[in-house]
Amino acid sequence: MSDMSMDSAAPRRSSKSLHEVDARTRRRNAAETRFKACGIGAIAIGLFFLVVLVVAIFRSGLPAFTQTVLDVEFALTQEQYEDAESQLFKTKAYSQAFNGALKTQLDESGVTLPFDEASIERIAGKVGGTIREYFRANEDQLGQPTSFQLAASSRVDGYMTGRVTRDGFQDSRFLTLADLDLVDALEDAGIIRTQFNWNFITGADSGVDNPGGAGIGASVVGSFFMMLVVLFLSLPIGVAASIYLEEFAPRNRFTDLIEVNISNLAAVPSIVFGILGLAVFIQFMHLPQSAPVVGGLVLTLMTLPTIIISTRASLNAVPPSIRDAALGLGASRMQSVFHHVLPLAMPGILTGTIIGLAQALGETAPLLLIGMVGFVARGYPDSFIDGFVEPNSAMPAQIYTWAARADAAFYDKAWGGIIILLMFLLTMNIIAIILRRRFERRW
Amino acid sequence: MNDMRLLERDVDAKDIKIAARKVQVYYADTHAIKDVDVDIEDKTVTAFIGPSGCGKSTFLRCLNRMNDTIDICRVEGDIRIDGEDIYDAKVDPVQLRAKVGMVFQKPNPFPKSIYDNIAYGPRIHGLARSKADLDDIVEKSLRRGAIWDEVKDRLHAPGTGLSGGQQQRLCIARAVATEPEVLLMDEPCSALDPIATSQVEELIDELRQEFSVVIVTHSMQQAARVSQKTAFFHLGNLVEYGETGQIFTTPQDPRTESYITGRIG
Ligand SMILES: Nc1ncnc2c1ncn2[C@@H]1O[C@H](COP(=O)(O)OP(=O)(O)OP(=O)(O)O)[C@@H](O)[C@H]1O
Ligand SMILES: [Mg+2]
């Protein structure tokens, strides 16, 4: 190209000092500044919603981690025990003995407030039954002072955590204003107090009338066994399928069709997988109902497309020149894939897998369809194998069940369950980041 | 086999290592190589020259079946190495590529250490019996690639951390390490400085003692310096093929003449 053609092609640039910014540059800089401001604004809005979400979750969920208990020290003599066992209403006799002890303890602290059995029952539930059970199991403890920690009812719990207030309080058969006075007095006397609720983390689901005893532990175990199934099925199957499709399969109509279908599967609503699982795994294959292994199978079906898509994307992102280099040295296709391509794709594959697992961990609808509802989670499995086949629930299904229950205290439990679930997700994401770093260090 | 021995006796000075007849290459509908006949001699450096896009790389990649990896690419015709058809159904391209090594147009070191880059080929082909053996091969190959002095202190540093020219020499060393019988080099010196270029040219000359080397180059001087035979490609056709000296001094075809004098390109 000659100088002539250069001149005629572009308008001449005026040569001005570099110290003055010309109008065009100023406009471009202004546009850039505006764009940056928009970006910062977008991030700020995102962060704001995140903070609101986190605050809301913790405000609503933290009460689930505390528990109101009545701490009463109390001795039952041999005669009292025999006397109570000989009566017709046995638990009533135990209740009376307990109330006596409570009254003494209250009097000692200088408060005199009359209370009856009914109000204690409203505050602490049917204490007689608990006490009787304890002494029947531990007869050697008779006559010894034993300290009992009795869970307060959900309304008293709500009063202590601020969910129930005196403003506009109406007496009901569950709680009266007089009861609240008694609770205040018991609190002053140090008999009622709130403590960390380990049972919420380690326990199993309770009945609908006992929100205080509800724990998420059993369904955490259910989720764990489900995730084991998902991980050990979907990772190898997904990665093998992707490697085959990406590196070995010929490109033709048939593989195109498979490809399109995998993408479509990723968009299928999870409830469809649920009903499919119900039909195939339970009704046709007769696998046990509500079992984590079935949940794991259903979630595997859901997770596979995610893993396949992300694995293929990360295999595809490996520069073809690396494959050429290996093949050019006389490596077989498989050697080129396993020695060179796969290690480079590993961070992407792992990230995709963990995202898939995280989705599966939070999935609720398909689990409800195969019977892994919350109230099934009544205890821990007896053995490792039982963990897969014994009926159990999973965290999100448990949360859903709690949220659907009438007692407002279950609502707190649902929020508490959400906190636990989010902590698991956070842990998984951190693992993903660590694995990514570890593999990326190999350039 | 009998014919082969006859053939050997016939050609007293140089054997034909690769014989290509009526080779056609198509990329989908594009006809990239048209009717190419060429005999590449053993223990000879053959240069492929021609304007950009004329099909030099494409033809080179036919010789070790690297085109198999391109889905849309179709190769027709007959290419024989030592009399054996390399596109025969019985031929495993993996075995072929161990025999016919390749240095690519763009440097493509593995994202592994320099040592592992070189050692990879010998490892998968079982060329080293011990660690010491392998160390030997690595050192010898890096020396042949004219890069030993620059990397000997950092053999375990990543190969991708080298400069472009160093990477290309690493790739040459890597190709040499597997002891191929034919070495295909696609513009191996395009990213190298004059010193490294002359080192690589020395290497090519040295390799000629044992192997046959095919080199694609855009530098007429380089073709003249290193090769004994030159092939000129134009728009997918092999226009002229002969002794390098003859091609550069008395080209038969007007297209060859205008290319080497700088009028096409
Ligand atoms: N993978 C491919 N898919 C489709 N067409 C291709 C492909 N590779 C090469 N071609 C076409 O084949 C023709 C020859 O390309 P080739 O790479 O062999 O040229 P070349 O002579 O090596 O050029 P250069 O000197 O620039 O490297 C070109 O027209 C190119 O467009
Ligand atoms: Mg080329």
Beta-bridged to residue B238, according to DSSP, are B233
pLDDT of amino acid A183: 85
Q: How far is the CA of B179 from the centre of ligand 2 (A)?
A: 24
pLDDT of amino acid B5: 45
**Does the beta carbon of B52 sit less than 6 angstroms from any atom of ligand 1?**
yes
| pLDDT tens digits, one per residue of B97-113 | 999 999 998 899 999 99
Nearest-by-Cβ selection for A322 from B66, B108, B175: B108
Taking contacts as CB-CB distances below 8 angstroms, the residues of chain B near A326 are 110, 120
Closest CA of chain B from A305, distance in Å:
25
Domains within chain B, CATH numbers bracketed:
16-108+180-260 (3.40.50.300)
* pTM score, whole prediction: 0.81
Check whether B3 has a pLDDT greater than 60: no
DSSP B106: S
Domains within chain A, CATH numbers bracketed:
66-196 (no CATH), 217-439 (1.10.3720.10)
Taking an 8 Å cut-off on Cβ atoms, the answer to whether A331 and B120 are in contact is: yes
**Does the beta carbon of B174 sit less than 6 angstroms from any atom of ligand 1?**
no
Phi/psi of residue A6, nearest 5 degrees: -55, -45
Q: Please name which of B217, B207, B216 lies closest in space to residue B181, comparing C-alpha atoms.
A: B207
| pLDDT tens digits, one per residue of B233-259 | 999 999 999 999 999 999 999 999 999
Mean pLDDT throughout B14-24? 89
Contacts 24+ apart (CB under 8 A), A31-39: none
Q: Please name which of A283, A275, A329, A279 lies closest in space to residue A302, comparing C-alpha atoms.
A: A275
Nearest residue of B to residue A249, measured between CA atoms: B71
CA distances from A331 to A163, A193, A345, B115, B118 (A): 69, 71, 18, 17, 13
| pLDDT tens digits, one per residue of A97-135 | 888 888 888 888 777 777 777 888 888 877 888 888 888
Check whether A44 has a pLDDT greater than 50: yes
Give the percent of chain A with pLDDT over 90: 41
Least confident of A169-173, A423-427, B77-81: A169-173
ipTM of predicted complex: 0.88
pLDDT of amino acid B172: 92
Angle between helices B114-125 and B131-144 (to 10 degrees): 120
**Does the beta carbon of B57 sit less than 6 angstroms from any atom of ligand 1?**
yes
Nearest-by-Cβ selection for A327 from B97, B111, B161: B97
Reduced to 3 states (helix: H, G, I; strand: E, B; else coil), residue A287 is coil
Residue A158 — pLDDT band, cuts 50, 70, 90?
confident
Closest CA of chain A from B74, distance in Å:
14
Distance CA A315, CA B137 (A): 32
pLDDT of amino acid A279: 93
| pLDDT tens digits, one per residue of A264-285 | 988 899 999 999 999 999 999 9
Is the Cβ of A12 closer than 8 Å to some Cβ of chain B?
A: no
Mean pLDDT throughout A195-202? 86
Residue A71 near residue A190 (C-beta atoms within 8 A): yes
